[in-house]
Amino acid sequence: MSLNLFKKKNDAKQSFFSVFDNNRFFIKMMFSASPSYVIYTALDGVRNELSIFLEHTLLIGYVLEAAEFNYPFKRVGLIILIAVLLISLGMVFTVYAGNYVAEKERPKVREGIKLKLYEKARSVDLECYDNPEFYNELVLSISEVDNRIDRVSAFLRGVCESITVLVTTGIYFLTKDGRSIIFVLVSFILMYIFSLIYNRLNYNAKISKNPHERERDYVKRVFYLNDYAKEVRLNTEVSEVLLQKFENANDEVYRSERRFAGKKFIVDFVRKHIFSNMLGDVFYISYLIYLATVPKTIALSALVILFNSFNRAVYGLKDLTDCYSTAAETGLYVQKIRNFLDYKLKVVSHGDAVPTASAKKVELKNVSFAYSSNPENVIKDISLTINPGEKVALVGYNGAGKTTLVKLLMRLYDVTEGAVLADGIDIRDYNLNKYRDSIGAVFQDFEIFAASITENVIMEQGDKADKDRVDKALKDSGLYDRVLTLKDKSDTQITNEFFDDGVNLSGGENQKLAASRVFYKDNSLMILDEPSSALDPISEYQLNQAMLKATSDKTVIFISHRLSTTRFADRIIMLENGKIVESGSHDELLKQNGKYAAMWKAQAGAYIKV
């Protein structure tokens, strides 16, 4: 099924083509964020190796040859001067490209790629976030971006360097002794094989550590994040359990490190030392001495430069194989990013209908729904009509399906069977963004953002605010008096995440702030999911009255465990196990003396007199 999006290609062995293609894809992403960064990185790699070739092979070779065959000093001096000038020009280019352009452009590359990923993360179906596998992979992909940009830049530069080394030394070998290339190729093939093994080991080691490292990070966060500080202090047993978890996770990380360390060491040793040293230093030098002394086909000055070039070619190839292993590792990560970016949204607009501003009529026709993680329906064949302007309360015990039902109304998920209609049109036929925009919602697990109070109300940049409407929204939610006590009033920053003088509001105040969003936004359908759960009974009563007043001409669906809140609804719908079991006004349902009445009696004593 589609949620296994990260399984698709990662587990398959990567072909050379997919390694190449994934790196090409990432370089293209970098290029679209900053073309100059990519171009200068590549050119600087070429420049670097051209300079080395010019100095170490051509210049030194020429000087040695001049000494061996007594060339005139003037000619030698002139050639040295030209070479020094060329090398200096190259240095100037490096300072410009490497130190100036790359530093200036790197943040642009990071921002460009991350924005693409965030944009996608924002739009993928909510269903994806219910899937831990998806979530882990997403977090891993995003957290790796900076690292990958550095690695891919190094890769690009490395490839350009290696290719320049191979082309220049290759030409040199062909002019002096073509057979030397065979020595170089043999080393290359052997090192390539071992690099692949090494790369796979590295990746497996990282993947096997990943779940335990995440566990470790979670415990670390619990101990230093403000949000957990109170609970951790009050519940010492929780701390014990977490510390135990931390130790276990550490042990697991250590165990997987140890499992791979030995193998990695041997493979690395063989590829780095045995091949290059054995083949290079022993066999090749013997071969060159033979050429210089027996058939006398090369001069002594050429012997020195050939040996030097051989080492450069071997190390150039070694770098290329190293580049390849980095590229293969990057390929696996990029594949995750590509799978993520390629993820086909399921909840998409099927039409382009635009919702009207007037109160919505909502109809559910034989709606059933199952979460993808569990085939059992949690909403079972519900049919229901909510008239424009009606205030409907959904009640029921935990797990009855209330939140799921409102998520279906908002099209955060699509129904498995049946249809939801708004003003007679299937909600799948609306433009998705416009449809969602037409609904105002406050959830029990609302989030307050590290931004100003005004921005938290309007959910946009502060300068787009209609000040009077913001004040009114804050008054309606009951937060206005508190805002007046703050130094910067509604410009006060919430949380001290970005500003030292930011204010942390209480749970109830935050809830009022979240409710202000609904008062500010002019929506034709309001969904209030436990909007007052953190408030004391009086504030709750006030907030509910304010909400009913502010939404008098809107269709409102609200969920609350506290029946004292829902009793004012025009109609109460009681859900149980994904089905409607009772429906009617508060008084009707009490008369019926069924499940709602039983629930009411259990709660009524708490704070409301009937």
Among 18, 48, 403, 510, binds ligand ADP (CB under 6 A): 403
In SS3 terms, 279-311 reads as HHHHHHHHHHHHHHHCCCCCCHHHHHHHHHHHH
Residue 343 C-beta: closest distance to ligand ADP, Å: 18
Among 301, 404, 551, 565, binds ligand ADP (CB under 6 A): 404
In SS3 terms, 45-94 reads as HHHHHHHHHHHHHHHHHHHHHHHHHCCCHHHHHHHHHHHHHHHHHHHHHH
Stretch in the footprint of ligand ADP (CB under 6 A) among 19-27, 229-237, 402-410, 519-527? 402-410
Task: Identify the helix (H) or strand (E) that includes residue 231.
Answer: helix 226-234
Stretch in the footprint of ligand ADP (CB under 6 A) among 145-153, 176-184, 192-200, 373-381? 373-381
Its sign, for the CA torsion 296, 297, 301, 307, is: negative
Its sign, for the CA torsion 471, 472, 476, 481, is: positive
Residue 590 C-beta: closest distance to ligand ADP, Å: 21
Q: Is 360 helix (H, G, I), strand (E, B) or coil?
A: coil
Query: Measuring CA to CA, which residue among 508, 556, 551 is closest to residue 532?
Result: 508
Among 70, 143, 175, 398, binds ligand ADP (CB under 6 A): 398
Provide the residue type at 252 as one letter: E
Burial 106-143 (b: 16+ CB within 10 A, else e): beebbebbbebbeebbeebbebbeebeebeebbebbbe
CB-nearer residue toward ligand ADP: 148 or 402: 402
Could you give the string, one character per residue 21-40, with x where binding to ligand ADP holds by CB under 6 A and - elsewhere? --------------------
Residue 567 is classified by DSSP as T
Those residues with Cβ within 8 angstroms of residue 312's Cβ, 6 or more apart along the chain or in another chain? 52, 56, 57, 165, 169
Stretch in the footprint of ligand ADP (CB under 6 A) among 30-38, 153-161, 353-361, 371-379? 371-379
Stretch in the footprint of ligand ADP (CB under 6 A) among 153-161, 176-184, 394-402, 544-552? 394-402
CB-nearer residue toward ligand ADP: 125 or 329: 125
Residue 256 C-beta: closest distance to ligand ADP, Å: 30
The reply to whether 374 sits near ligand ADP by the rule CB under 6 A is yes
Phi, psi angles (nearest 5°) of residue 517: -60, -40
The reply to whether 377 sits near ligand ADP by the rule CB under 6 A is no
Residue 267 C-beta: closest distance to ligand ADP, Å: 43
- Token pair, residue 462, equals 């502060």
The reply to whether 525 sits near ligand ADP by the rule CB under 6 A is no
Stretch in the footprint of ligand ADP (CB under 6 A) among 298-306, 372-380, 449-457, 478-486? 372-380
Q: Which residues pair with 556 in a beta bridge?
A: 391, 526
Give the whole-angstrom CA distance, residue 579 versus residue 86: 82
Among 171, 399, 545, 552, binds ligand ADP (CB under 6 A): 399
Give the whole-angstrom CA distance, residue 91 versus residue 97: 10
Residue 362 C-beta: closest distance to ligand ADP, Å: 17
Q: Which residues pair with 503 in a beta bridge?
A: 494
By CB under 6 A, the count of residues binding ligand ADP is: 13
Among 361, 402, 567, 586, binds ligand ADP (CB under 6 A): 402
The reply to whether 378 sits near ligand ADP by the rule CB under 6 A is yes
Contacts of ligand ADP in 102-131 (CB under 6 A): 130
CB-nearer residue toward ligand ADP: 33 or 589: 589
Residue 408 C-beta: closest distance to ligand ADP, Å: 10
Q: Longest Cα pair distance anywhere in the chain, in angstroms?
A: 119
Contacts of ligand ADP in 126-145 (CB under 6 A): 130
Among 99, 226, 358, 373, binds ligand ADP (CB under 6 A): 373
Residue 410 C-beta: closest distance to ligand ADP, Å: 13
Q: Helices 180-224 and 226-234 sit at what angle, rounded to 10 degrees?
A: 60
Among 396, 478, 508, 531, binds ligand ADP (CB under 6 A): 396
The reply to whether 576 sits near ligand ADP by the rule CB under 6 A is no
Rounding to the nearest 10 degrees, give the CA dihedral for residues 82, 84, 85, 88.
160
- Token pair, residue 10, equals 């990662």
Contacts of ligand ADP in 171-190 (CB under 6 A): none
The reply to whether 408 sits near ligand ADP by the rule CB under 6 A is no
The tally of CA atoms less than 13 A away on the side-chain side of residue 352 is: 0
The reply to whether 371 sits near ligand ADP by the rule CB under 6 A is yes
Give the whole-angstrom CA distance, residue 531 versus residue 52: 69
Residue 573 C-beta: closest distance to ligand ADP, Å: 12
Q: How many CB atoms lie within 10 A of CB 217?
A: 13
Stretch in the footprint of ligand ADP (CB under 6 A) among 211-219, 393-401, 432-440, 538-546? 393-401
Query: What does the binding site for ligand ADP look like in residue numbers (CB under 6 A)?
Result: 130, 371, 373-374, 378, 396, 398-404
